[in-house]
Structure 1
Amino acid sequence: MVFRSPQLLNIIQGLGYSGARIQVIDSQRRTRAETGSYGTTDVANGNDPGVLDTRAWFTKIRPLLHKLIIREEWRDQPATESDVMFDRALTTALEGKPRVLRRISDNAQIIVALHPIVSKDKTLGAVIVQQNMAEILTFQEAALEQIVLFSILSLLAVFVVLLAFSVRLAWRIRGLRREANAAIDPYGRLRASALQSEVNAGDEIGDLARSIDNMLLRLNQHNTFIENMPRTLRHEINNPLNTLSTSLQNLENESESVRNSKYLESAKRGVLRIGAIVQNLADAANLEESLETEELETLDIEKLIENYVANFQLTHEKHHFIFRGTGGPVYARVSDYRIEQLLDKIIDNAIDFHRPESPIKVQLDTYREHLQISIANRGPALPHGAGESLFESMVSHRGRQSRLHFGLGLYVVRLIAEHHGGSVHALDLPDSSGVAIMVRLPLSPVGSPTPKKSDKVESAETA
């Protein structure tokens, strides 16, 4: 039986809201006022696939959230058990203690809040507020969507900022690396004495750039000192050498007993050797500067090498030289004096290492865009890993020899080859019975004959 109270109804109607049911129960469990319904009002979105998917996903994670927040295990209640728990909660509320519980009603999850009505220490009844969890879930879903969307946008913004920062940082580091690498050529010579980029930056990359710039400056000063040292040594050593040579000559002229002395001859040879060493050092130091001022002209390399080998054979009758050419003119823009100097250094090296009674072969080949000069000799193979270092300055693999060698000959060969736009390399013969040094130079576009060979590299190791 319901005993309506208009005053109570007016009060709770102002408190009602969608999806909630408010009841006022007296101490006899009679309903004195009631308003609203806990049935879902989300008819428009109830069948929306997005809402259904979100609700299904939220239903799956609800037990975990319940355990984390309420610190209780989530379990579904049967309808009968739910009614019993509601009756117990109502009894407790009428006894003056508020209760909150979850119940099942018409296959819907309902949140129930019961609070006693107390007047002068006497419980007059209880207020029951029931709300469908679908409404709460809808509100939670909307809040969750906003949080997820805001989080994704925030993460995306942070990712874009970090990506832009990392790309710019990588670009600056790569630029600094390229400039630092370009400051030194493959043979260790400085191309630039200072950096141009990042030296004014105020961050750690700027500090690194300034450190590298300072290092390049000190290396440039040291290299300048090293490059000028041969000229200084030649000037400083030639004076005492001239004095010593003159003194030995005067001693030979004045004393008959000393004239035929083996010690005098040994001293003369020592003076000449020191003079030759100083001159070689100075020539190597001045070579790069002199190459820059030389003009190139188009010459027939075939004829140049053929005449050179013939003249060299006349002056070195103890050795046998074989020249194998292309049979026709081969044109290239070169300096004839420097090509002869290049051949001098390579053939001198071949003579020092060749096997006695074996010929030294000079071969000229042409390819589509370049010519190749090969000098091969029978003798010891190259030391392991020495193929590239042979052409560096002050590098020698002769071991203990009777003559002093400072490793400048093949270094001069490399400088001349690179000055003509070419390259030089050394390798063992196929049967490891000797060594071949090959110089490649670009062919002249004017007057160059049609290559007689295929592009397959055919080295002179067939000697």
Structure 2
Amino acid sequence: MNLRRQLVLLSLCTLALPWAGCQYLRQVDAALSQGQIQTLEATGNAIAARLASAPELIAPDSRRTGRPPGAQLYLNPLPQSPVLDGYGEEWRALELRPRQLLDQQGEPLARVTLGKHSSHVYLLLTAKDRSPSYHDPRSPSISSGDTVEIFTAQKQYTLPVASQGPVRALYYNPRRGSYERELRLRGRWTASPRGYQLELALPFALTGGEMAIRVLDRTRSDNSEPTRLASTLPADGRPGTLVEPLPALQQELEHFARPELHLTVVDQEGFVLAQSGNRLGSIAEGDQHTAENGRWLRDWFYRRLLATDRLPPLPEGEYPVALTENRETASQWFSAPEATVRAPGDERIGAVSVPVVTRADNIIERPLLGRVIAAQSASALQSLTESAAQRLWLTTAGAAGLVLLLLLGYASWLSWRIRRLHRAARTAVDSSGRLRGDFPRPYLNDELGALNRAFASLLAELDHYHQYLRSLASKLSHELRTPLAVVRSSLDNLAAGELDQDSRRYAERAAEGGARLSAILNALSAANHLEASISQADKEEFDLADLLQLLTQSYADAHRGHHFDVQCPGSPQLYHGAPELLAQLLDKLVDNAVSFAPGGSEIRLTLEADSQEYRLSVSNEGPQLPPGFGQKLFDSLVSVRDDGGKAGHLGLGLHIARLIADFHQGTLDAANREDGKGVTFTLQLPR
């Protein structure tokens, strides 16, 4: 993995910034939520303290004291009088909570909803009876089948169940000793798929402030004992009190009203006595405007980001038992009803329930008068948190993007410097082993710049040493000529005197070695002078193909023991160079080929041309090159001959050929032939 990718992967650690910001936002959201719960609890305690100091506001009716739970019935305030048609469409639109009536086995037999408008009490009763038994007119009893009984403070009314039609309410008149019809009770029966339904109205003054309901279910219309019975009438036979909202309490509660705050006061059984603010189902209605503005996806994302636990949904128009039926302060978070928000859990509602306990002294267990429930939507907190989340995301995303770009740019710049150093190191030495001398020297003082300068210094020292080695031959040639001349003159004088046979043989051998040494020094001197003369040669434009053909004819005349073949294009091949030097180069290559090729073999000279370069090759049969000698052949004093240098081949011919190729900015290579029968030398000249 390259350095740039490593730095890019390292820069991904900046993604921890948004994660840490999210964790911080969640903690802030939790702290704000806890603060909201504490504020609601303080509000509830203040209202509970006020009501405890004035218990007549919350418990003005002393008749309820000591009554068994479940005996009381709640009168819901109705915005208008319902139509008494038996169907109850107006009731369903109000979404009121019905009272369940259970039979002896605890199974639901009926449910009843009561309401009050003006001076009348309205009742909607729905019974669950698969086989209703209606009253038989032939029976002497007032109700021989299913019966609904209504108890008030003074009277008991019997309502025989009918499949359809108006209600007949009968009560016993003790003065006349007979049952009479109560015309002030108006209503209507209707049949339903699961039983029957009753819609009834009666004056509130007729109830005396008390009411109980009993439903009798018979299997036959023969006035037999009912098989099932459900009733709100206590065991003492006294109807329960009708509970309804208290105007004085409502007026007192309005003093604590605040925007976005919903206050509810319930009695000890959970019946609503007063309310302030929007109803529970509409607390989150203000958030619907956000959805209509097309920002629902963003809001949903923030809520999913900040949400920790899934909240239970708040029931429609009511609070759970945990907030209405205990003597301790309780708090809980809910999600708004699904009908008022875009999706479940989109809106949070915090609710705190505080008990109202009387402050009367000398009481072992002070009675519970009711509870104050304070509820508030968390939309303001969520808007604040979402705004902070948006700013955090924008800031962290911008910072992470900037850091990523800076790291990527720095990695690219650093990678470019390393690649530049790598290319310079690879091209510092040419194919012949010479230093090019153009190694870059940066001016930056970092570690990479120090490494670059160290490489440059090292190559400079190597170049100095290489220059010393190149000049060593000429220096040795110059320094050895004088002692060699002394040795040769001494050997000549010795040979002129009287010597025995053995001494003369040794003197001749010493003279032969001196002659060889003198030839070597002359060749070294000639090579140094030739290199200097090559650099001063003049270039001209000539036909390279014509030069090759002329030289091939000369080689054929000079080396009649070999067969020469030339292959070149028929058209002129113009080239700008030094023809004398190129002829000398070919002389060296052909001389090398003749020395290795067996007698009578073919030596092929080939010229190829394309749009970029000329390729001139000399191929001969013979032994192949040893491994690793492809470029070493062109170094000074390097030879692969096995004659020990007796034939005078000192390895300077191919070295001179390479010097001529370098002068023409070409390359000279040697490789074994593909057929494995010889060697091919190739000269590449740029056009």
Q: TM-score, normalised by structure 1?
A: 0.74
- Partners in 2 of 1:25 and 1:279 — Cα distance? 126
1:144/1:336 CA distance change after superposition, 3 Å: closer
Correspondence 1:92 to 2:328? yes
SS of the aligned residue for 1:92 comes to coil
Aligned residue number for residue 380 of structure 1? 623
SS of the aligned residue for 1:91 comes to coil
Correspondence 1:102 to 2:333? yes
Aligned residue number for residue 128 of structure 1? 373
Aligned residue number for residue 273 of structure 1? 516
Contact 2:268-2:369 within 8 A present in 1 as well: yes
Q: What is the letter of the counterpart of residue 667 of structure 2?
A: S
Q: What is the letter of the counterpart of residue 664 of structure 2?
A: H
- Partners in 1 of 2:513 and 2:524 — Cα distance? 17
The Cα of 1:101 is off from its aligned counterpart by 0.6
- Partners in 2 of 1:282 and 1:31 — Cα distance? 125
Cα deviation code 1:201-250 (max 9, x no counterpart): 12222212221222122222212222221121111122211211222222
SS of the aligned residue for 2:626 comes to coil
Contact 1:194-1:214 within 8 A present in 2 as well: no
The 5-angstrom pairing of residues 50-449 of structure 1 reads 50-51=295-296, 53-57=297-301, 65-66=308-309, 74=310, 76=312, 79=315, 83-88=320-325, 91-93=327-329, 99-103=330-334, 106-107=337-338, 110-115=349-354, 128-133=373-378, 136-192=381-437, 195-196=440-441, 198=442, 200-255=443-498, 257=500, 261-299=504-542, 301=544, 304-305=547-548, 308=551, 319-324=561-566, 331-363=574-606, 371-384=614-627, 386-393=629-636, 395-398=638-641, 401=644, 403=646, 407-441=651-685
The Cα of 1:27 is off from its aligned counterpart by 8.5
Contact 2:552-2:566 within 8 A present in 1 as well: no
Structure 2 counterpart of 1:34, from 276, 296, 308: 276
Q: What is the letter of the counterpart of residue 409 of structure 2?
A: A
1:188/1:22 CA distance change after superposition, 3 Å: farther
**Structure with more of its chain in helix, by fraction:** 1
The Cα of 1:370 is off from its aligned counterpart by 5.4
**How many residues in Structure 1 have an aligned counterpart in Structure 2?**
421
- Partners in 1 of 2:402 and 2:517 — Cα distance? 73
4+ residue segments displaced more than 6 Å: 24-30, 116-126
Q: What is the letter of the counterpart of residue 149 of structure 1?
A: L
The Cα of 1:141 is off from its aligned counterpart by 3.5
Structure 2: give runs of 5+ residues left out of the alignment. 1-244, 341-347
**Structure with more of its chain in strand, by fraction:** 2
- Partners in 1 of 2:621 and 2:418 — Cα distance? 50
SS of the aligned residue for 2:331 comes to strand
Structure 1: give runs of 5+ residues left out of the alignment. 67-73, 94-98, 444-463
- Partners in 1 of 2:541 and 2:306 — Cα distance? 89
1:350/1:176 CA distance change after superposition, 3 Å: same
Aligned residue number for residue 70 of structure 1? none
Aligned residue number for residue 21 of structure 1? 262
1:92/1:396 CA distance change after superposition, 3 Å: farther
SS of the aligned residue for 1:41 comes to helix
The Cα of 1:405 is off from its aligned counterpart by 5.5
**Identity across the alignment (%):** 27
* Coordinate RMSD, CA, aligned: 4.0
Aligned residue number for residue 232 of structure 2? none
| Structure number with higher relative contact order (C-alpha < 8 Å, ≥ 6 residues apart) | 2
Contact 2:432-2:631 within 8 A present in 1 as well: no
Contact 2:311-2:335 within 8 A present in 1 as well: no
Cα deviation code 1:238-296 (max 9, x no counterpart): 22112112222222222354699443333233223323333444444454433221112
SS of the aligned residue for 1:294 comes to coil
SS of the aligned residue for 2:286 comes to coil
- Partners in 1 of 2:370 and 2:514 — Cα distance? 129
SS of the aligned residue for 2:671 comes to strand
Larger Rg: 2
SS of the aligned residue for 1:170 comes to helix
- Partners in 2 of 1:58 and 1:260 — Cα distance? 112
Cα deviation code 1:102-127 (max 9, x no counterpart): 24664465321345689999999865
Q: What is the letter of the counterpart of residue 424 of structure 1?
A: L
1:101/1:441 CA distance change after superposition, 3 Å: closer
The Cα of 1:184 is off from its aligned counterpart by 3.1
1:45/1:270 CA distance change after superposition, 3 Å: same
Q: TM-score, normalised by structure 2?
A: 0.52
- Partners in 2 of 1:368 and 1:101 — Cα distance? 87
- Partners in 2 of 1:187 and 1:290 — Cα distance? 19
